[in-house]
Amino acid sequence: MAGPAGFRELSRAIDGVSDSVLSDRLSDLAGMGLITRKVAEGPPVSVSYELTDHGLALIPIMRQLSIWAYEHLPPG
C-alpha cells in the first residue's frame, strides 16, 4: 500500500487484527513519529495515515527481515 490510507483500508489490508488493536498501534506509531495522522474536516470527517520519512526509512529493513523470516522460520 503506497500513500495515505484510511482506517478501513488498513483494517482490510491487515488480516486478523481487531479495530481496537489497530487503533492502538496507529496511535503508538504516530507517537513515535513513524506515521502522521491527518484529519480532514467533513462532513463526513475523514482520517488518513501516512508514513513519515522515518517510517519510510524502515521499509528496506522490514523487507530484509521478511526475507530472513521466510528463509529461516517454519511456515505457520
C-alpha closest to that of 7 among 48, 42, 39: 48
Residue range 21-62, pLDDT digits in tens = 999 999 999 999 999 999 998 899 899 999 999 999 999 999
Domains (ranges, CATH) in the chain? 5-72 (1.10.10.10)
Average pLDDT over residues 10-30: 95
- Give CA–CA dist 8/30, Å, rounded: 17
- 3-state secondary structure at position 41: coil
pLDDT for residue 70 is more than 70? yes
**What pTM was estimated for this model as a whole?**
0.81
Q: Secondary structure of 16-62 in the HEC alphabet?
A: CCCHHHHHHHHHHHHHCCCEEEEEECCCCCEEEEEECHHHHHCHHHH
Give the pLDDT score at 2. 77
Please give the pLDDT value at position 5.
96
